[in-house]
Chain A
């Protein structure tokens, strides 16, 4: 194991910058909204007029009569194909029922966006209004009114353990919690509530669809082009080969542009209009319409511990708000249950998590779904346990975190991991234990996140001048694949990373890939690129062997040449070999790492492949904050992030993920929330009142990588990187606030008013 602070290679010092960086920062980059086609029409949607209602009549005649309207599309104009990830519970256009304020009732294509919006408003939709069902905890109770009365008829994954409004029920059971609690010196209980939040990409989504005969090309701002393509094919009932998805530059996603969203709506409008149709969301629509935001949660923990800092048992009950539809978020209950255990040694566990429908905006993956909120709650609970047993919070973690040989909550036995090293590194970087003014304090939190194994594919080909092109199915959403993949290919071929161009945004070109999600592009597609490059390498060695009359085993690829080992003057350039016209083309996918085994009991339900955490990414964050006691305003003054993401392939990209992730995490900690009214309507769908942190609010962020050469993982012993930087952030901030205030703030985000209210409560009780 090595701890890396400086590792000066050319790539990592910045001589190899993002190939798409300059165009993005100079404004020359072309995003989906910048793409225009001759004769295109503009789209607008008619959204539900009530969060929950039965549709009794839709009359589009007035809208169709408006000059400049080319098409109006409702459920009658598309196949009645339900869609969704683990549960197929949604139609493109609502037919009988609307279940949240963003449900799409109809779409319009018109000469201008203004006409399209006018026509959308002119559609007559009549409803029988139903009571809104925004309370996901109440909805989980037996006998509660159903968001989907027809839930039993839906096609769904059998492992979800569905019942009524509960889309997913997942349990982790280990040992004998009742008996173990009896042996505890202290038992600590806590309850926390986390509000919903958003991915809030700076680019509102845009889609442009054009039909050529019976085939459609869709330009779209998606993180997952193949899921978008498959969604269009499924919902419109056409072959996947008739749908081509192209992704221009993507202006951020943070998970919100995962999954299939509006591509088929726009394709259907383009077909009906007989011309290309373009949809560009306003900022307000970007908040209201996607079935994709971070889930609200209610979390209850009970932990028994001994005075010497041993965790003897954990109970937890978690409620998660699924909102109106399942989307790709069906796995949330099990993911949350794993995070309710956390990266700790626990012999006795009883955790249950319920993912429940409501008539709120649907939740789905936002950067590390379920983890930041669960970790925020658990890590504050851990500080409460530390206080109860009289140990320093860092010392309690030192005694209880997983290490090599530890058995996880599901019996996973951990290989060499750097969990404790991240703790020590973060504590050292932040200066834990230093004297601070009485309105400042340091908080520490630990977390984990799995690496995701998924099939992936890539081609590598060489051009006649000795440069190369990577054709991949992977998607770049700002995460750095455009840097990591050329680095990996170049290493195999003795070339330079900037010798390679990369084509990544066309489903007709690259092999299937799950897309920019799950912290896994370098993890899986890196493996594919290495395998493809190795095929090219073998071809080059064979060609050079024939030309130089040397055994391929005695040749090496260095500095753009193939040369004899030990006799570098006996060589041939790659350009010379590639220039002969012989195709130099490799394809690859590589061998998938396998999830580690567990001994989870068969009584556990809701098992969806997350029983064990493959190549776990392990994190400790530490925050130094200042609390304004008169106002409750919190400023994060300094931040330390120590991560075990295995061997780092591209340090610039990895550091960037941490800087961005920590800022997103601080936003979730202090200011970012979607507030719903009593009926589930968003109260702050805009960037003035959905308060992202700005650069001026950012603290100094120190990063350290604990580089464990990890077996059964990604290229070069790497793990994922992208999601963990937001996982323990809010927990660290929360623990720091509690040190100043004398009590934990139990609602997320920990807004100024909530911090102030907590301070008032402490002062009231002291009287």
Chain B
């Protein structure tokens, strides 16, 4: 017999989950997956969508907190996130359809642990962690430790994800997410990449790069990051956000961006399926990585990259 209960607070949700219930908020993965025959609906479901305090975005003490129930649409309309985590907006802007973005939550996206999820790579680049609350209390887990395989997390079945937290980026930081997409709506990433950079004194002082749908779990690419850190962008006069080509073509940073793309391709272990061959995916890993890094650098240096960066970077 199937059961459905609606939790009014985190404790009630955790109690239901301890009894075997699966949490549901937007239902855009759970329900759609069941209708596609991917996995039947769980026998026992706990609705968490009315729990107070799980929704909303706040910035305090250098930490950006995004509640688990925050929809992609809410992320897109957040001025705080637009300046701090533009790469996350790039992702939320292209998840599914308008309906998916209105109903689908960040918590669901992250905990579904799909290697093709759009928000995963930008969150990983922003050094995000999740706040998990279970019967024994609350703990924070970094995303790299959270995702253990396709559709698998290290959270225990009775732990509810309350929020995503990430450090407020300093001045001179920028991020972006770019995916290869065959159409503009109702699409799933064929491959994707996110980049986060900090630029100070005309050089890349920090860089994080992650790739999507290219490995069993979304992961960072150290080789890409090493290629970028310490590279000079050129004189301040020649850096123009409006025209990133000024520093992507011939200079030191252009070579570094190219090398970052090559490192991403080398790190990829893609499959061949109906969406693309492994060879094409590998080649595209380099392309989307270059584009994500380019967009992130452009944002970091005050240039304009419209959301979503995937559309901006088509050429």
CA distance A694 to B181 in the complex (A): 13
Is B184 on the interface with A (CB-CB < 8 A)? Answer: yes
Q: Which of A631, A671, A694 contacts B284 (CB 8 A)?
A: A631
Q: Let me know if A635 and B180 touch, CB within 8 A.
A: no
Verify A753–B183 contact, CB threshold 8 A. no
Contacting B at CB under 8 A, from A724-752, are 751-752
- Of B186, B188, B274, B314, which one neighbours A633 at CB under 8 angstroms? B314
B186 adjacent to A687 (CB under 8 Å): yes
Knowing A689-B274, A694-B186, the reply to whether A752 touches B180 (Cβ < 8 A) is: yes
Q: Residue on B with the closest CB to A760?
A: B283
B154 at the interface (CB under 8 A from A): no
Q: List A672-720 residues whose CB lies under 8 Å from chain B.
A: 675, 683-684, 686-689, 691, 693-697
Complex contact A753–B185 (CB within 8 A):
no
Is A686 a contact partner of B182 (Cβ separation < 8 A)? Answer: no
Per-residue A-contact encoding for B149-187, CB less than 8 Å = 1, 0 else = 000000000000000000000000000000011111110
B183 close to A693 (CB less than 8 A): yes
Determine if A683 and B284 form an interchain contact, defined as CB atoms under 8 angstroms apart: no
**Is B79 part of the contact surface with A, judged by Cβ < 8 Å?**
no
Indicate whether A756 reaches chain B with its CB closer than 8 angstroms: yes
Q: Report A-chain residues with C-beta under 8 Å of the C-beta of B180.
A: 631, 633, 752
B280 and A688 within 8 A (CB): no
Query: Which one of B181, B280, B287 contacts A753 once the chains associate, using CB atoms below 8 Å?
Result: B280
Across the interface, A683 reaches (CB within 8 A) one of B37, B186, B274, B276, namely: B274
Per-residue 0/1 for A261-288: is the Cβ within 8 Å of any B Cβ (1 yes, 0 no)? 0000000000000000000001010000
Cβ contacts under 8 Å, B287 to chain A:
630-631
Per-residue 0/1 for B122-159: is the Cβ within 8 Å of any A Cβ (1 yes, 0 no)? 00000000000000000000000000000000000000
Q: Which residues of B contact A628 (CB under 8 A)?
A: 314-315
Are B185 and A694 interface neighbours, CB within 8 A? yes
CB distance from A196 to the nearest CB of B (A): 13
Q: How far is the CB of B119 from chain A (nearest CB, A)?
A: 18
Shortest Cβ distance from A680 into chain B, in angstroms? Answer: 15
Contacts of B37 in A (CB 8 A): 284
Closest CB of chain A to B263's CB: distance in Å?
Answer: 17
Q: How far is the CA of A752 from the CA of B274 in the complex (A)?
A: 13
Interface digits, A627-660 against B, CB 8 Å rule (1 contact, 0 not)?
A: 0111101010000000000000000000000000
- Given A628-B315, A630-B315, A635-B314, check contact A695 B185 (CB 8 Å): yes
With both chains docked as a complex, state the minimum distance between the C-beta of A172 and any C-beta of chain B, in angstroms. 37
Judge whether A756 and B280 touch: CB under 8 Å.
yes
Convert B24-51 into 0s and 1s, putting 1 for each residue whose CB lies closer than 8 angstroms to a CB of A: 0000000000011100000000000000
Cβ–Cβ < 8 Å partners of B276 in chain A: 753
Contacts of B186 in A (CB 8 A): 687-688, 694
Task: Name the A residues within 8 Å of B36 (CB-CB).
Answer: 284, 686, 688
Per-residue 0/1 for A426-466: is the Cβ within 8 Å of any B Cβ (1 yes, 0 no)? 00000000000001000000000000000000000000000
Interface: B275 (CB within 8 A): yes
CB of A694 within 8 A of CB of B274, answer: no
CB distance from B187 to the nearest CB of A (A): 8
Docked-complex contact B182 and A633, CB < 8 angstroms: yes
Interface residues on A, range: 20 to 34
Which one, A630, A689, A695, contacts B275 given CB within 8 A? A689
CA distance A751 to B180 in the complex (A): 13
Q: Closest chain A residue to B186 by CB distance?
A: A694
Q: Which residue of A lies closest to B183 (CB)?
A: A697
On chain B, the residues within 8 Å of A630 by CB distance are: 287, 315
The answer to whether A752 and B182 have CB atoms under 8 Å apart is yes
Are B315 and A675 in contact (CB-based, < 8 A)?
no
- Decide if B277 touches A694 in the complex (CB within 8 Å): no
CB of A696 within 8 A of CB of B188, answer no
Most chain A Cβ neighbours within 10 Å, of B37, B182, B186:
B182
Residues of A close to B283: CB separation below 8 A = 756
B36 closest partner in A (C-beta): A686
For the complex, give the distance between the alpha carbons of A309 and B191 in Å: 46
**A574 to nearest B CB, angstroms?**
48
Contact of B183 among A629, A686, A691 (CB under 8 A): A691
- In the bound complex, residues from chain A placing their C-beta under 8 Å from that of B188 are 688
Contacts of A695 in B (CB 8 A): 185
Chain A residues near B274: list those with CB within 8 A.
Answer: 675, 683-684, 689
Interface residues of B in 247-283 (CB under 8 A from A): 274-277, 280, 283
Neighbouring A residues of B35 by C-beta, 8 Å: 282
User: With the chains together, A439 CA to B315 CA distance in Å?
Assistant: 8
Question: How far, in whole Å, are A635 and B180 apart by their CA atoms in the complex?
Answer: 13
Given that A630-B287, A633-B314, A635-B314 are known contacts, is A696 also in contact with B275, CB under 8 Å in the complex? no
Q: Enumerate A530-574 residues with CB–CB distance to B below 8 Å.
A: none
Smallest CB–CB gap between B268 and chain A, Å?
Answer: 15
A629-B314 Cα distance, complex, nearest whole Å: 9
Contacting residue for A671 out of B183, B314, B315, CB 8 A? B183
A402-436 interface (Cβ within 8 A of B): none
CB distance from B152 to the nearest CB of A (A): 21
Whole-angstrom distance between the Cβ of A349 and the nearest chain B Cβ:
38
C-alpha gap A629/B35 in the complex (Å):
37
Q: CA separation between A688 and B36, bound complex, in Å?
A: 10
Give every chain A residue within 8 A of B277 (Cβ-Cβ): 753
| Complexed CA–CA distance, A753 and B284 (Å) | 10
A358→B274 CA distance, assembly (Å): 22
Q: How long is the Cα–Cα vector from A684 to B186 in the complex, in angstroms?
A: 15
Q: Which residue of A lies closest to B37 (CB)?
A: A284
| Interfacial chain B residues near A757, Cβ < 8 Å | 280
Q: How close is B6's CB to chain A, nearest CB, in angstroms?
A: 25
- A671-B184 contact, Cβ under 8 Å, with A284-B37, A633-B314: no
Smallest CB gap from B32: residue in A? A688
Q: Which residues in A have their C-beta under 8 angstroms from that of B275?
A: 689
User: With A and B bound together, what is the CA distance between A50 and B86 in angstroms?
Assistant: 50
CA of A683 to CA of B275 in the docked complex: distance in angstroms?
10
How far, in whole Å, are A675 and B277 apart by their CA atoms in the complex?
A: 13
Interface members, chain A 12-28 (any B CB < 8 Å): none
Bound form: Cα–Cα A509–B275 in Å:
48
- Residue in B closest to A670 when the chains form the complex, CB atoms: B182
Cα distance, A633 to B182, chains bound together (Å): 7
Indicate if the CB atoms of A696 and B185 lie closer than 8 Å.
Answer: yes
Question: With a CB–CB cut-off of 8 A, which chain B residues contact A675?
Answer: 274
Complex Cα distance, B8 from A240, in Å, reads 60
The interface residues of chain B lying within 8 Å CB-to-CB of A629 are 315
Q: Give chain B interface residues in 262-315, CB to chain A under 8 Å.
A: 274-277, 280, 283-284, 287, 314-315
Q: In the assembly, what is the distance between CA of A694 and CA of B186, in Å? A: 8
Binary per-residue interface labels of chain A (38-57) against chain B in the complex, 1 for a CB within 8 Å, 0 otherwise: 00000000000000000000
Within residues 178 to 202 of chain B, which ones have a CB less than 8 A from any CB in chain A? 180-186, 188
Closest A residue by C-beta to B287: A630
Contact A697 B284 (CB under 8 A): no
Find chain B residues with CB under 8 A from A696 CB. Answer: 183-185
Query: How close is B262's CB to chain A, nearest CB, in angstroms?
Result: 14
Contacts of B181 in A (CB 8 A): 633
Give 1 or 0 for each of A755-767: 1 = CB within 8 Å of chain B CB: 0110000000000
CB distance from B290 to the nearest CB of A (A): 8
Nearest CB of chain B from residue A385's CB, rounded to whole Å = 31
Hey, which chain B residues are within 8 Å of A688, CB to CB?
36, 186, 188
A694 to B277, CA, bound (A): 24
In the complex, how many angstroms separate the beta carbon of A66 from the nearest chain B beta carbon? 18
Report the Cα distance A689→B180, complex, angstroms.
14
User: Would you list 12 pairs from A and B whose C-beta atoms are within 8 A, ordered by A residue?
Assistant: A282-B35, A284-B36, A628-B314, A630-B315, A633-B180, A671-B183, A688-B188, A689-B275, A691-B182, A696-B183, A697-B184, A752-B182
Q: A284-B37, A633-B181 are in contact. List 12 more A-B contacts (CB 8 A).
A: A630-B315, A631-B314, A675-B274, A684-B274, A687-B186, A689-B275, A691-B183, A694-B183, A696-B184, A696-B185, A752-B182, A753-B276
Which 5 residue pairs across A and B have the least CB separation, nearest first?
A: A696-B184, A694-B185, A696-B185, A753-B280, A683-B274
A interface residues (Cβ-Cβ under 8 A, vs B): 282, 284, 439, 626, 628-631, 633, 635, 670-671, 675, 683-684, 686-689, 691, 693-697, 751-753, 756-757
